[in-house]
Amino acid sequence: MITAMVIMLMMSAAAFGQQTQGTQSVDEMVVTATRSEERAIDVPVTTQVIDREKIEMSGALDIGDLIGKYITGHFHKYNGLLSPVGLRGFRTESHGDDVKGYVLLLVDGHRVGTGNAAKINMDRIERIEVTKGPASALYGSAAMGGVINLITKKGDGDLFVSVGGDAGSFDYYKGQLSTGGEVNDRLRFHLTGSYEDTDDYDDPEFGTVYNTGVTRKNVGGNLVFTVNENHELRLGGNYADLTSESPDWDGDAYTRYREDASQHNEKDHAYADLEYNGDYFGNAVHWRGLAYYLRDKNHWYWGDPVAESDQTKYIDETLGTDHQFEWHMNSWNRLLVGFNLEWLEKESEGVSDGQPSTPYTPGMEYDTQALFAQDSLDLWDNRINVIAAVRYDRFDVTTVRPKTGDLPDFNEKNEVYDHVSPKVGIGVKVIDEFLRLRANVGEGFKSPSADQLSADYVHSNGTHYLGNPDLDPETSLTYDVGVDLFHEFFTLQVGYFHTDYEDKIVQVTDEVDGDAVSTYENHGDSVMAGFDVNFQWWIDRMFDWTVGVSVYSNAAFNTTKDDKDTGEDLQYISDYEVKSGVSVSYAGFSTQLSHVLVGPQMITNYDTYEDEEKGSFDFWDLTLRYRFLDHWEVRGSVLNLFDDQVEWVRGYLMAERNYRVGLTYTF
């Protein structure tokens, strides 16, 4: 069906060609794929954008739910504010330091400092840009599957103050206060704070899922000062205080949840950043500089019946700076060079049976330095766009003694290694800017962690954890090709990707002289391939309607996901995903009906430790909004409209049909 659509549209392209100039879809600006603002059609790497309208109409409560609703990849949602997100078979690491992940989460261009998308509040996000495929040539380690860049509100527009509240099923409520706007020609800002709480929810099969309450407190904002037309400073940041509970099954059989379960967790996430943008030499050179601080805390209480009797706590802190210089050498050649420096420290501690104990993971230190360069060529009257990028990363990592635990033989070992990541892409426009052909090839990598390289200690459980200094980084080589159609009435993007994934790091345990020794090895290669399809149709434009009507559909079909050693399917990669919706708007009224379909995937059943296929599932959401009298907004959502069984992860059934309503006054 897709092939037939492409052929038909190409045959009719001549008739459409003259209409495509200057349309919104062609002129949309993106920044993530090349680290500089460019028209999407001039960048060979496809960028999927979730704009503010889609964010507001999503009904989602955090970035994890939002990505799961709109972006095809692998969303892995647990109870208790734990949501790694994935792209093309790779996903973020959500239990601790995000440098262990395979998809990189950014905020305003720098690491956000966590791989847990459930921690990230949406109130400050203006738009989200998602690039799929390896991005290590510009962003380094942990960008094998792609990059998700959260771009925050900067306070453009008139001054305002907004007060709002929401209430809904399962005793949900939220209060929010926001303010911002342009104070004068030089100063603008955006600030927001919110308090949000929900109680235990019900699922469609087992009834009340006890111990699933969540409390979120968020505050953050941006302050932007324009020195003059060539220089600008921005100070931003966010703090999130998060508390959630963890459900437990009553007995061995999955029949009902324990009402007296006591496990819970306390998490927080914070960042602060200072950004400078300046133009020099008659706007020929642009300097963008960033300094940032990141903090991520994960504190789990596991004890039963006294939760505090068993605890594990990790705190990651990062200081970083990132600088890039873009030189417009002439009208068709732009050179971007830059560097990145980061210092990350991870502290760990534990409690067992009420006494200080050795946590599962020791402390770690990462000192990283990187240099990167990219050349962008716009040739033949901007009909051919070429990018070539390369990055050098150097890592100095140390395993650090945890704050608790009796470890007399702990050896704080240090290892140093480096890696080079290249990438090249080309886009060719034909028939004016209606049709674009593109191709990319690039390498992604994920660095070994400090404990994988340099651990050397005997845990209180008797196991000797021993790092392997000879580990190689995990790497991927991906090529993708695609065809994109841009028209006033629609956009269609169809791409094929093929990834060879090598040197996966796995943990292995052997017995040496009667003692258990756990270490790490590069073991196993795999291949992943498939199709990405993104479609947007502005029906109202086509028929010149006064009522706004549009349809979107984002789909992924994973045709190959093979472990080369075993020949078996890779786990936690769905055969297909389709995420679609229709939006209608008129005057102050707008509504969106959305549908998510996730296909079957191979998983491990952790009751039997056997591999099995997890079946497909789908669900519908309906959201409505009405703005009236210039100041008021009323909104409502019906989530899981048809009361489907939604199970992103086996054993963690999500909520039944539920409702929310809200009211906001802006002055």
pLDDT digits (tens, 9 = 90+) for 498-543: 999 999 999 999 888 778 899 999 988 999 999 999 999 999 999 9
- In 3D space, the residue among 161, 295, 323 whose CA is nearest the CA of residue 239 turns out to be 295
pLDDT digits (tens, 9 = 90+) for 118-154: 999 899 999 999 999 999 999 999 999 999 999 999 9
The hierarchical CATH code for the domain 2-666 is: 2.40.170.20
Report the residue count for the chain: 667
Does the pLDDT of residue 497 top 50, yes or no? Answer: yes
Does the pLDDT of residue 365 top 50, yes or no? Answer: yes
C-beta of residue 595 within 8 angstroms of C-beta of residue 583: no
What phi and psi values does residue 459 have, to the nearest 5 degrees?
A: -75, 160
State the pLDDT at residue 13. Answer: 38
Does the pLDDT of residue 667 top 90, yes or no? Answer: yes
Q: Which residues of 400-435 are buried (b: 16+ CB within 10 A; e: fewer)?
A: bebebbeeeebeebebebebebebbbbbbbeebbbb
Does the pLDDT of residue 616 top 50, yes or no? Answer: yes
Confidence of residue 389 (pLDDT cuts 50, 70, 90): very high
Q: What percent of the chain has pLDDT over 70?
A: 96
- In 3D space, the residue among 219, 177, 182, 175 whose CA is nearest the CA of residue 197 turns out to be 175
Distance of alpha carbon 106 from its chain centroid, rounded?
A: 8
| Mean pLDDT value of segment 205-210 | 93
State the pLDDT at residue 25. Answer: 58
pLDDT digits (tens, 9 = 90+) for 624-652: 999 999 999 999 999 999 999 999 999 89
To the nearest 10°, report the CA torsion of 19, 25, 28, 33: -120
| Mean pLDDT value of segment 55-61 | 94
pLDDT digits (tens, 9 = 90+) for 324-333: 999 999 999 9
Confidence of residue 8 (pLDDT cuts 50, 70, 90): very low
Amino acid at 239: Y
What phi and psi values does residue 539 have, to the nearest 5 degrees?
A: -65, -35
| pTM to 2 decimal places | 0.94
Pairing between β-strand 610-614 and β-strand 201-203 as defined by DSSP bridges: unpaired
Does the pLDDT of residue 2 top 50, yes or no? Answer: no
C-beta of residue 442 within 8 angstroms of C-beta of residue 475: no
Rounded to whole angstroms, the Cα distance separating 457 from 505 reads 20
State the pLDDT at residue 22. Answer: 34
Confidence of residue 487 (pLDDT cuts 50, 70, 90): very high
pLDDT digits (tens, 9 = 90+) for 584-593: 999 999 999 9
State the pLDDT at residue 315. Answer: 96
- Please give, one letter per residue, the 3-state secondary structure of 242-306: EEEECCCECCCCCCCECCCCCCEEEEEEEEEEEEEEEEECCCCEEEEEEEEEEEEEEEEECCCCC
DSSP-derived letter for residue 200 is: -
Pairing between β-strand 515-522 and β-strand 464-466 as defined by DSSP bridges: parallel
State the pLDDT at residue 26. Answer: 63
Does the pLDDT of residue 9 top 60, yes or no? Answer: no
Amino acid at 550: S
pLDDT digits (tens, 9 = 90+) for 657-666: 999 999 999 9
pLDDT digits (tens, 9 = 90+) for 404-454: 988 888 889 899 999 999 999 999 999 889 999 999 999 999 999 988 998
Does the pLDDT of residue 1 top 60, yes or no? Answer: no
State the pLDDT at residue 600. Answer: 97
Does the pLDDT of residue 566 top 60, yes or no? Answer: yes
Does the pLDDT of residue 19 top 50, yes or no? Answer: no
State the pLDDT at residue 253. Answer: 67
DSSP-derived letter for residue 128 is: E
Rounded to whole angstroms, the Cα distance separating 314 from 310 reads 14
**CB within 8 Å of 568: residues ≥ 6 apart:** 562, 602, 611
pLDDT digits (tens, 9 = 90+) for 76-93: 999 889 999 999 999 999
- In 3D space, the residue among 548, 628, 476 whose CA is nearest the CA of residue 88 turns out to be 476
pLDDT digits (tens, 9 = 90+) for 313-324: 999 999 999 999
| Continuous H helices in 57-139 | 63-70, 136-139
pLDDT digits (tens, 9 = 90+) for 458-485: 887 788 999 999 999 999 999 999 999 9
Confidence of residue 57 (pLDDT cuts 50, 70, 90): very high
Domain boundaries, the chain: 2-666
pLDDT digits (tens, 9 = 90+) for 98-122: 888 999 999 999 999 999 999 998 9
Does the pLDDT of residue 16 top 50, yes or no? Answer: no
Sequence-distant contacts of 638-644: CB under 8 A, at least 24 apart? 639/59, 643/204, 644/204, 644/617, 644/618, 644/619, 644/620
| Mean pLDDT value of segment 258-268 | 92
- In 3D space, the residue among 70, 40, 64 whose CA is nearest the CA of residue 120 turns out to be 64
